[in-house]
């Protein structure tokens, strides 16, 4: 009987940090993010939009690592980028970038902290990060407040692109609230994990409030599905990339 190593948990932050774009990122992954960046630029161009909400149907679909990576990809194209961690119940951005989370979005929206003293500047070249801050008792109300509108109006004048990492759509209403404040939503689905029903429920929720779906990103895609991914890009507003978790997994399977 042959045994294989168990794949890393999608909530393992150390594992996620390993796969944030950097000098050691595989070429095919870097190019995939560049393709996604270009596609998003074309989608946003007609509306002159710059605020992108990122969400998923449920937990563990790699939306936070995607949010971080696409923010880095935009920043590497010399755009001034702000990444906002609006998943105040289960924040990840401060762990990925190893930042202090004592200040952040929650205190800004509650009026306890001005944006410019809460934001982490130059986390990467051209990239600023506003972490979630301490978990408030009323995340949905804060995100729906006028203070959230004021904050986004403020940062729109300072940044070329604003990426908002939101909670999963099928779990809480926060993502739907933010989708109405953004130019549209990038919906992240995990290959082999996200069910058709879960995905459809998330799409229906976005359509119900008449928000725009900018595209879909499929994470964890094994290399053998390249033809399928190409078909998806050709026949719909869908972006797919290969998660390099499978690079390690394939090595395990060969042992």
What value, to the nearest 5°, has the Cα angle with vertex 51 and ends 114 and 19? 90
pLDDT in tens, the chain (255 residues): 332 333 444 455 565 555 577 767 777 778 888 989 998 998 887 666 899 999 999 988 889 989 999 999 999 999 999 999 999 999 999 999 999 999 999 999 999 999 999 999 999 999 999 999 999 999 999 999 999 999 999 999 999 999 999 999 999 888 898 988 999 999 998 887 888 889 899 999 999 988 889 988 888 776 544 444 443 444 344 444 444 333 333 333 333
Indicate the SS3 state at residue 159.
Answer: coil
Q: What pLDDT does residue 182 have?
A: 92
Q: Identify the pLDDT of residue 14.
A: 60
d(CA 96, CA 66): 11
The C-alpha atoms of residue 243 and residue 193 are separated, in whole angstroms, by: 13
Tell me the C-alpha distance between 195 and 218, whole Å.
12
Whole-structure pTM over 0.85, yes or no?
no
The 3-state DSSP composition of the chain as helix, strand, coil percent (nearest 5) reads 45, 15, 40
In the chain, the domains with their CATH numbers are: 13-254 (3.40.50.300)
Structure tokens at 13: 């932050």
Q: Which residue has the tokens 């595989």?
A: 26
Q: How far apart are CA 10 and CA 121, in angstroms?
A: 28
pLDDT at residue number 62 = 87
């Amino acid at each position: 009987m042959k045994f294989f190593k168990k794949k890393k948990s999608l909530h393992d932050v150390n594992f996620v940090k390993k796969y944030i774009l950097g000098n050691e990122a595989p070429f095919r992954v870097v190019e995939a993010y560049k393709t996604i960046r270009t596609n998003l630029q074309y989608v946003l161009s007609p509306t002159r939009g710059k605020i992108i909400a990122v969400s998923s149907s449920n937990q563990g679909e790699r939306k936070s690592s995607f949010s971080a990576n696409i923010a880095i990809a935009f920043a590497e194209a010399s755009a001034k980028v702000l990444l906002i961690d609006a998943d105040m119940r289960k924040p990840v951005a401060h762990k990925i970038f190893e930042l202090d989370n004592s200040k952040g979005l929650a205190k800004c929206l509650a009026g306890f902290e001005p944006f410019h003293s809460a934001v982490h500047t130059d986390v990467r070249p051209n990239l600023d990060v506003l972490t979630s801050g301490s978990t408030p008792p009323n995340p949905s109300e804060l995100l729906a407040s006028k203070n959230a509108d004021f904050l986004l109006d403020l940062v729109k004048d300072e940044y070329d692109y604003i990426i908002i990492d939101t909670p999963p759509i099928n779990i809480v209403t926060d993502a739907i609230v933010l989708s109405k404040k953004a130019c549209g939503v990038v919906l992240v689905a995990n290959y082999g994990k996200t069910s058709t029903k879960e995905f459809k429920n998330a799409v229906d929720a976005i359509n119900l409030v008449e928000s725009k779906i900018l595209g879909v990103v499929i994470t964890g895609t094994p290399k053998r599905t390249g033809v399928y991914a190409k078909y998806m890009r050709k026949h719909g507003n869908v972006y797919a990339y290969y998660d390099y978790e499978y690079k390690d997994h394939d090595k395990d399977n060969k042992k």
